[in-house]
Amino acid sequence: MAEAQWQPYFRWIFILAVIFGATVSIDVVFNLISASYGFMANPTTICAILLAQKIGATSRDYFTALSVDF
């Protein structure tokens, strides 16, 4: 999505976000930022839960091999 064809859209989104942020109260901006962080945390949490077993097994294998090399 970082191709040049999308640049005008991102530019307009940025301009609209600046205008929106300049016209609403600071509480609305802070709440929007907090909600954005919350939405970004959801996929990370879901992936961590789904991959926990694989990460645990891979970590055990790695640290077992690491302790054997010494």
User: Which of the four pLDDT bands, split at 50, 70 and 90, describes residue 69?
Assistant: low
| Alpha helices, H only, 1-70 | 7-23, 26-69
Whole-number Å distance between alpha carbons of 49 and 29? 31
Mean pLDDT of the chain: 91
| Domain edges within the chain | 4-69
Give the residue-averaged pLDDT of 45-51: 94
For residue 20, pLDDT beyond 70: yes
For residue 13, pLDDT beyond 90: yes
Q: What was the pLDDT predicted at 67?
A: 80
